[in-house]
Copies of this chain bind each other. A is one copy, B any other.
């Protein structure tokens, strides 16, 4: 299933990347785009390589980009990707809202006909 131009795999990567507090913190701190990887690494109680991996996860998810600046690699969070993750959630919320609308519909119209809803066919 595809949401807009987002494949399932990219949504997987997106949410997976967000499911770690260190990575969310890196995201927050890299909004300004002025921190290098080693600068970030100083902030956490783990090795440089570990932070490097976290940045790589964020990068693969498209949440962050790196920009060479001298011998440093500056990390910047990509706001569009955060927005993309939100849209994936919006889609689920929209479904729920659709249900509410339908219920409102049922309440508004006279309840007749006993078809209790087709189960919504195949998908995957």
Contact = CB atoms under 8 A, between A and B. Distances in A.
Interface stretch (A11-19, A48-56, A65-73, A106-114): A11-19
Which secondary structure characterizes the binding site on chain A?
helix
B82 A92 contact: yes
A28 B95 contact: yes
Contacts of A44: 124
A89 B85 contact: yes
Interface residues on A, range: 35 or more
Interface string A78-97: 01001101101110110110
A95 B99 CA distance: 30
Contacts of A105: none
A115 interface: no
Nearest to A3: B24
Nearest to A89: B86
Contact of A19 (B19, B120, B123): B19
A118 to B, nearest CB: 11
Interface of A: 1, 8, 11-12, 14-16, 18-21, 24-25, 27-29, 31-32, 34, 43-44, 77, 79, 82-83, 85-86, 88-90, 92-93, 95-96, 99, 117, 120, 123-124
